[in-house]
């Protein structure tokens, strides 16, 4: 008997739209969720990724020979060319982890929660894409409440580093309004 093909769903949306809240609703329905940001953060601690950063950005992303996530975030969001290099390296690693994880799930449907499905060119890796959307003022308040260290300028920099919500919604199979 051939293994059943899993339906792969991407849950995406800009920063502060409430993707994690919505993903928990899918978890409650029995759909396993892979959190791409959490897995990417784990990858940043791996020898392979640290070696990549040491080779490319040692002078700008390390403090006391340790990868400095604050410096890294500033570096990623302030330089488009560096962000593209980093994403080209990290995204395939995250997708490989997702594929391995998905193959181990006992569900016929699996979901990846990721803010940058379209930005990373991953839309063809999924059978369906759900975009979570929310009013901009609500998003900004959510971002401020959970990221106290971010300045207003850094928040706007992160919002503008992602594909506009209007575009994401246009490409979605389903939009969930999360005001």
Q: What is the DSSP code (8-state) at residue 20?
A: H
Instruction: Please calculate the CA angle 88-91-92 and round it to the nearest 5 degrees.
Output: 90
Structure pTM?
A: 0.89
Q: What are 24-34's pLDDT values in tens digits?
A: 999 999 999 99
pLDDT band at 3 (very low <50, low <70, confident <90, very high): low
> Is the backbone of residue 77 left (phi > 0), alpha (psi -120 to 50) or beta?
alpha
Nearest Cα to 96, choosing from 48, 58, 62?
A: 48
Which residues, other chains included, contact 16 with Cβ-Cβ below 8 Å and sequence gap of 6+? 134, 138, 139, 140, 141, 142, 143, 159
């Amino acid at each position: 008997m051939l293994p059943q093909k899993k339906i792969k769903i991407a849950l995406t949306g800009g920063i502060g739209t409430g993707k994690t809240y919505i993903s928990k609703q899918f978890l409650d329905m029995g759909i396993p969720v892979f959190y791409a940001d959490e897995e990417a953060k784990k990858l940043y601690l791996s020898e392979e990724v640290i070696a990549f950063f040491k080779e490319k950005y040692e002078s700008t992303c390390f403090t006391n020979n340790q990868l400095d996530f604050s410096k890294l975030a500033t570096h990623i969001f302030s330089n488009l060319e560096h962000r593209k290099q980093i994403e080209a390296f990290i995204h395939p690693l995250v997708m490989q982890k997702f594929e391995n994880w998905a193959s181990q799930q006992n569900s016929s449907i699996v979901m990846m929660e990721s803010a940058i499905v379209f930005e990373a060119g991953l839309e063809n890796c999924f059978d369906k894409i759900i975009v979570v959307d929310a009013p901009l003022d609500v998003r900004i308040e959510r971002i401020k409440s959970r990221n106290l260290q971010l300045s207003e300028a850094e928040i706007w920099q992160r919002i503008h580093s992602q594909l506009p919500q209007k575009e994401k919604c246009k490409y979605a199979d389903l939009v969930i309004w999360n005001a």
